[in-house]
Amino acid sequence: MQVLAKSSKMIPVMLMGSLVYGIRYTIPEYLCTFLVAGGVSTFALLKTSSKTISKLAHPNAPLGYGLCFLNLAFDGFTNATQDSLKA
């Protein structure tokens, strides 16, 4: 899950840039972002077997997902702020 979340890191960056700083992205940038995230997700989900899933530990999945979401939100804000400062 962490690999999938980090591979789609561009989505929260673009979302935060649009919402917080009013940055306009082009259609090819959106398309590239969703193609990369979709490709990595498809590859990772198709390669996962039921044997692998049964071996994974699930001690506190909601906490893990919450922390992953928080990490993506902070990454998005930080990167959008850096892009704004560079511009």
- Residues with Cβ within 8 Å of 71's Cβ and at least 6 positions away in sequence, in order, are 5
0.75 exceeded by pTM: no
Q: What is the pLDDT of residues 26-80, one digit of tens each?
A: 999 999 999 998 888 888 777 766 666 666 656 677 888 888 889 888 988 898 8
Range of the domain at 77: 58-86
Alpha-carbon dihedral angle through residues 39, 61, 13, 17, given to the nearest 10 degrees: 140
Both 28 and 5 in one domain: the answer is yes
Two tokens, residue 62: 């909601």
The beta strand positions in the chain, using DSSP E, are none
Instruction: Tell me how many domains the chain contains.
Output: 2
Tell me what pLDDT residue 3 has.
75
**pLDDT at residue number 26:** 93
Does residue 45 share a domain with residue 13?
yes
Alpha helices in the chain (DSSP H): 2-7, 10-21, 27-47, 50-55, 61-86
